[in-house]
């Protein structure tokens, strides 16, 4: 995609490439067909509903972690949501079960508080409980969902008395952008701690983190694991790979606004905020790929990249370029569609990135430009 030849695309702007999204969806649909599992769109990772007409051609539905996500699933995908909330709000719960097919609880006590309302509801979604298998491939302790002190899910010893009456499924989510060998370890951990329950329940949601659309993922190994697991326990198996759906399907287009002389590198101020528009770069943290740039190389023009907000820490470490940057140059930050667009804020009131889709016929459709009214209405 030659952005410099498309000056009508505003900056900053998220640009989804529909053709690349469909490639990913076809891979996931193949996994469904080969294994008999259902793959769901995790709205917490990708919620660009302008693309949902394409998504629903391939995937089996969506997962929701809030009432708003459940509503989006029901309204824009036309399907009941598979819900897991860290905590259900009592004033919202009846709305949740109206538009849900599965409802998983984070604790036994929470299930007990809601079970009567759930099971007496006319459409009564299937009830599940989130379990902690004490295994995760996430290295950061603060982000590890499977530590003994995690707030997410029930520990093995909490189920020594058996599953609560009315629980039909298990939910587990401990992986992050993982390969098939991490899935293998997850299955082993589930069998170690919860095998007796796997023979009792009707379904299991193996959560997200299955990066099946990455070129390095051993797809045949993953297919074999899922097929054998489903057949062994005769379960309905669900996956919700958040990143895999929109993995490497688009970019964030931005522009150099100023260059400030500093040591050891000049600072290129961009018209995006890393804090407001790409928060994972600071929270995780990580260095995103920038087209035509690399980590610092001696002898090449090198710049620290600064965000446009007034937050002092709104910057990335240095990148080297083949040519010196100048005001007005456009930069392309790669792979910015999953877990980025859903986390943006309007901090500082800086211009919010527009949203565009490059359709399969290569035409560009501007889906949304954000205005002062969008900023103002958030606080009124």
CB 209 within 8 A of CB 177: yes
Q: What is the three-class DSSP state of 145?
A: coil
The tens-digit pLDDT sequence of the chain (380 residues) is: 445 545 678 899 999 999 999 999 999 999 999 999 999 999 999 999 999 999 999 999 999 999 999 999 999 999 999 999 999 999 999 999 999 999 999 999 999 999 999 999 998 999 999 999 999 998 878 889 999 999 999 999 999 999 999 999 999 999 999 999 999 999 999 999 999 999 999 999 999 999 999 999 999 999 999 999 999 999 999 999 989 999 999 999 999 999 999 999 999 999 999 999 999 999 888 999 999 999 999 999 999 999 999 999 999 999 999 999 999 999 999 999 999 999 999 999 999 999 999 999 999 999 999 999 999 999 88
Q: How far apart are CA 363 and CA 16, in angstroms?
A: 12
Q: Among 275, 342, 290, 350, which Cα is nearest to 321's?
A: 290
Residues with Cβ < 8 Å from 358, sequence gap 6 or more? 1, 15, 16, 17, 18, 19, 250, 364, 365
DSSP at 347: G
- Token digits of residue 135: 């295994």
- Output the pTM of the full model: 0.95
Q: Among 16, 34, 14, which Cα is nearest to 228's?
A: 34
Q: How far apart are CA 266 and CA 264, in angstroms?
A: 7
Residues with Cβ < 8 Å from 298, sequence gap 6 or more? none
Q: How far apart are CA 264 and CA 75, in angstroms?
A: 52
CB 243 within 8 A of CB 178: no
């Amino acid at each position: 995609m030659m952005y410099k030849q498309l000056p009508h695309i505003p900056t900053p702007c998220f640009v989804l490439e529909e053709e690349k999204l469909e490639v990913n969806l076809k891979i996931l649909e193949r996994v469904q067909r080969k294994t008999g599992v259902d793959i769901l769109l995790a709205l917490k990772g990708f919620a660009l509903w302008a693309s949902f007409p394409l998504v629903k051609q391939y995937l089996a539905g969506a997962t929701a972690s809030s009432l708003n996500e459940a509503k989006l699933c029901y309204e824009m995908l036309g399907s009941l949501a598979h819900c897991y909330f860290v905590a259900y709000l009592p004033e919202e719960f009846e709305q949740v079960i109206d538009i849900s097919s599965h409802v998983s609880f984070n604790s036994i006590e929470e299930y007990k508080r809601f079970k009567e309302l759930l099971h007496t509801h006319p459409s009564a979604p299937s009830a599940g409980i989130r379990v902690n298998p004490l295994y995760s491939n996430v290295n950061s302790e603060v982000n590890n969902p499977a530590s003994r002190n995690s707030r997410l899910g029930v520990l093995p010893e909490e189920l020594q008395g058996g599953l609560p009456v009315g629980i039909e499924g298990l939910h587990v989510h401990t992986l992050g952008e993982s390969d098939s060998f991490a899935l293998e370890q997850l299955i082993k951990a589930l069998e170690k701690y919860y095998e007796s329950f796997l023979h009792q329940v009707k379904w299991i949601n193996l959560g997200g983190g299955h990066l099946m659309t990455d070129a390095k993922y051993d797809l045949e190994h993953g297919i074999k694991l899922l097929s054998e697991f489903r057949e062994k326990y005769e379960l309905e198996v669900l996956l919700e790979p958040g990143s895999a759906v929109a993995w490497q399907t688009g970019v964030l287009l931005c522009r150099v606004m100023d260059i400030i002389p500093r040591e050891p590198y000049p600072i290129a101020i961009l018209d995006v905020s890393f804090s407001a528009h790409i928060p994972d770069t600071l929270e995780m943290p990580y260095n995103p790929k920038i087209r035509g740039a690399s980590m610092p190389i001696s002898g090449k023009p090198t710049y620290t990249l600064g965000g446009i907000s007034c937050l002092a820490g709104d910057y990335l470490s240095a990148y080297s370029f083949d040519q010196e940057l100048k005001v007005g140059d456009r930069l392309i930050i790669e792979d910015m569609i999953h877990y980025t667009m859903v986390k943006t804020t309007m901090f500082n009131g800086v211009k919010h990135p527009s949203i565009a889709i490059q359709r399969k016929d290569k035409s560009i459709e501007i889906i949304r430009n954000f205005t002062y009214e969008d900023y103002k209405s958030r606080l009124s």
